[in-house]
Structure 1
Amino acid sequence: MQALGEVLAGNRYPGRGVVWARTGDGRCCGAYVLTGRTRASQARELRRAEGELVVAATEGPGGDPLRHYVGARERGEWLVYGNGEQVAEVGARLDLGAGPGSALSGLSYEPDPPIFTPRITAVVHHPTGRAWFGAARRSARGREEADVLTLAVGALAPGDAVLMTTYRSDGRTVAGAEPYVETVTRAAAPGGPDGLVAEIWDALDPGLRVAVAVFEPGALGGALLRHR
């Protein structure tokens, strides 16, 4: 099985990505990956806010909901992270008592033809360490209603990782990525989360990488951040 860094290095432009991993020292971590091709997409950063990580513009007025949004949110027992405004929507559903499957249902892909970027979301339950991934994608046949995949991730052993990205690219063409990839992380003790940040960041194309965040459930405010 390929290592996480190798999988990312083999995908020239992953777009945005969510990771759920258990490092070699046994610590469960989430990660959010942000890359960009245009100047506007690259002029972004992750900012800490109360109970949130916000994807914000570093230049210009900002305010583009497809580029600027709450990328991670933590309330009570739930951590939610993903690539758009659906993070807040899923979090609000969980606050009202919905289960992860229900909270991830009924979402749609982004309205950005011709690629129609998938909306990808991860949900983590702190007390149990269980995680769910959701992806709302446009069908290959072009149906208007999204195809929605929900994955309940089984308990991870040390070194296990699951990755979901928006795109798959060879550097010339860009297409929607496979639903998810099971992989392994080489981040190990001591300092597993630090190793995970480095493993992801170093694997991304230097000309396209924008930001990476790694965080443990219940400690989003202490997220480790890397920026271009």
Structure 2
Amino acid sequence: MRALEGVVGAVEYPGRGLALGRDRDGNGFAAYWLTGRSPASKQRKLVVSDDEIVVQDVSGGSTDDLRHYTAAVRADGWIVVGNGTQVSELAEARRSGRDLQVALRDHAYEPDPPIRTPRIFATASTDGTGITIGSARSVPGAEDLVQHPSLYLSELPPATSVTISTYAGTAADVITSGTPELVTTGTAWTALADLIWNQLAPNLRVALFIAPLATPTFEAALIRHQD
């Protein structure tokens, strides 16, 4: 397995990415990062409340569901993380007891042709078990079709996580991804914020959060924003 920071650093333009798993000490965590090419995409910040983390516009302009959305929701015993409006919808599906691998099939990639950005998400119980990660992405070679690659793991050992990103190319040549990967996380979760942030291209990185799963709110989340 590759290390999480190595996966992040291997791609110039990951778009949005997330990771969910356990650090070296077995502590569960969730992380989410944003990069952007356009001025509008860079004019964003993360706003933290007890049970939500929201990607918010800072330009004073109009909001856009593709750039401004709830990126994380937590409730009694679980968390959902992702890159768009599907996060709130999948959180409602989890509240109602649905299997989120099945609920994911209600979603398609983002309406932004010709890129067709994947909608990514991950969920877990706050004890770090019952991890599901996946995406709604276009089918390579038949881009109008939708596929839903996903992975379920009942639990992960310490120093192991799952990760997924929307893109896998460069800022000049955007390549869609949305494929889950199992990775190592051989440090404390508190150190991962800087490890991931420093792997993102300085001219593209926008924001990042990493939050422990065991706390009852997002208050302990670590946040990074562009300079």
1:57-79 CA-partner distances (Å, limit 9, x unpaired): 11122410000000001122221
1:76-126 CA-partner distances (Å, limit 9, x unpaired): 222111000000000111112212323323211000011100000111122
Paired residue secondary structure (1:158): coil
Amino acid paired to 2:141: R
Paired residue secondary structure (2:168): strand
Which residue in 1 is equivalent to 2:218? 220
Q: Which of 189, 200, 206 is the matching residue for 1:204? A: 200
The question of whether the paired residues in 2 share the 8 Å contact of 1:56 and 1:62 is answered with no
1:12-62 CA-partner distances (Å, limit 9, x unpaired): 000001101311121111101111111110110100134100000111224
Which residue in 1 is equivalent to 2:69? 69
Paired residue secondary structure (2:53): strand
Gaps of 5+ in 1: none
Counterparts of 1:69-88 in structure 2, within 5 Å, are 69-88=69-88
Q: State how far apart, in whole Å, the 1-side matches of 2:156 and 2:50 are.
A: 29
Gaps of 5+ in 2: none
Change over 3 Å in CA distance of 1:124–1:105 after alignment to 2: same
Identity %: 35
Residue 150, structure 1, aligned to residue 146, structure 2: no
Please report how far the alpha carbon of residue 178 of structure 1 lies from its aligned counterpart in structure 2 after TM superposition. Answer: 5.6
Paired residue secondary structure (2:79): strand
Please report how far the alpha carbon of residue 131 of structure 1 lies from its aligned counterpart in structure 2 after TM superposition. Answer: 1.0
Q: State how far apart, in whole Å, the 2-side matches of 1:33 and 1:102 are.
A: 25
Answer with 155-164 or 116-125: which moved more. 155-164
TM-score (norm 1): 0.92
Amino acid paired to 1:195: A
Residue 28, structure 1, aligned to residue 28, structure 2: yes
